Amino acid sequence: MVSLGRILDRYQSVGLGLAVFGAPFAVYSFLVLLSVPLTALGLACVVLGVSITMVPESPVPSDTIRAMVEASCVGVEAVLEEFNARERAAYLPPRDGRVVAYIPFKAGDYSSSWRAQDAPLRVVTEVGGEPALMVFPPGSEIVRLAQPEREGGESDVEGALEYVLVDFLEAVESVKSLSVGERVVVEIRKPRIVTEFPRFNAVLGSLPTSVSGCVVAHVLGKPVRLVEEHSIDGGVSATFEVPPGSG
Amino acid sequence: MRCLLGLDKHKLYVVSLAAALMVVVVWLSLFPGTTLDVYVSLFAACYIAVSALFRPRRRGFDVVGAALVLSFCYIVAVKVMEILVK
């Protein structure tokens, strides 16, 4: 590792070396050697070097991430079964960097989702006197690792979903989102991860939908409640609801 | 796409970009009258094509892509001006 005030990883070291070689070589070839091909070679080294520098450190292979994600569904399914959770989850914005899924026990208790952000972070918690379940869905760790940008708010939801689901996790072929009033509709095409956990799917949505919920909550910084999920041609469409008056 | 030849997506991107740039330099160097703007134009085309194919993750803004596209636009603008002036 090269140290230039901070430790450079392998990619940065190699890229910097190529760029440092290429730039003066291009200038020298152009001005002294008067050789266009050698100048072009120097420029190519600069282009390649800077490109290599911008590639992040080797990410965890997506196959490994997918396997870990699917395995983590087993634990969540067990918890949901144990507490007989049936209501659709609300994904709360990150606390300590992790999105939490909030599942009220009481049927039709949607309003508590909007007040759950300050509820104690426990497996069984309470909002307004009503008990509820809190779990860390697999998507919370994925969002923590991927760290999609969140400065743009609603306009960045689709970009963040694409980055996490398509580029980082490679879990779906494509994803689109549309904000309509207080609802965010996410369309997922050709999901590559299909899990057969009935309670998980019923409460948190299918795995790509659950990850989408975590991403949307992370980007918007608001609780988002899963309203419905249904199959569409070649994929899945999920609708999330944001708190009233904030859409 | 990924895990071709045992390489992950990012390594494959780097190798492909290096190969494409090398092919451009070697091929154009066979033509003695080739000017630098032709090299830069083809570098831009190769970079955009390889980036679109692999969609690598990057740290920060794509400075290289922006510089190559701007250079290409400048080259085209100069050529158009030359034609118009003639």
**DSSP codes, B50-76:** HHHHH----SSS-HHHHHHHHHHHHHH
pLDDT tops 70 at residue A2: no
CA dihedral A212, A213, A214, A220 (to 10 degrees): 100
The interface pTM score, or ipTM, of the predicted complex is: 0.89
Cross-chain CB nearest to B43 (options A47, A52, A59): A47
Host domain of residue B15:
4-85
**Which of A6, A29, A47 has the most B C-beta neighbours within 10 Å, making it the best mutation to test the interface with B?**
A47
Verify whether the Cβ–Cβ distance A167 to B43 is below 8 Å. no
Q: Which residues of B2-26 are buried (b: 16+ CB within 10 A; e: fewer)?
A: eeeeeebbbbbbbebbbebbeebbe
Q: Return per-residue pLDDT of chain B as tens, 86 residues.
A: 344 555 667 788 999 999 999 999 999 999 988 999 999 999 999 999 999 998 887 777 889 999 999 999 999 999 999 999 98
Number of structural domains (chain B) is 1
Name the packing angle between helices A138-146 and A62-82 (round to 10°): 150
Residues of chain B positioned with their CB less than 8 A from the CB of A37: 25, 28-29, 34
Smallest Cα distance from B69 to chain A, Å: 12
Q: Is A201 helix (H, G, I), strand (E, B) or coil?
A: helix
Verify whether the Cβ–Cβ distance A30 to B8 is below 8 Å. no
CB A226 within 8 A of CB A91: yes
Domain boundaries, chain A: 4-53, 63-101+136-241
pLDDT in tens, A164-185: 888 777 788 889 999 888 899 9
Percent of chain A with pLDDT over 70: 89
A189: exposed, middle or buried (Cβ count in 10 Å: 0-12, 13-18, 19+): middle
Q: What is the mean pLDDT of residues A193-201?
A: 86
Smallest Cα distance from B4 to chain A, Å: 13
Cross-chain CB nearest to A54 (options B2, B24, B58): B58
Cross-chain CB nearest to B43 (options A43, A55, A59): A43
Smallest Cα distance from A37 to chain B, Å: 5
- Which amino acid, residue B69? V
What residue has token string 């080294």?
A: A45
Asked if B63 is an interface residue toward chain A (Cβ–Cβ < 8 A), one would say: yes
pLDDT in tens, A82-130: 999 889 999 999 888 889 999 988 877 677 777 777 778 888 888 888 8
Cross-chain CB nearest to A36 (options B35, B58, B62): B35
Smallest Cα distance from B67 to chain A, Å: 10
pTM of the predicted protein model: 0.64
Q: Is B30 helix (H, G, I), strand (E, B) or coil?
A: coil
- Euclidean distance between the first and final Cα of chain A, in Å? 48
Verify whether the Cβ–Cβ distance A51 to B17 is below 8 Å. yes
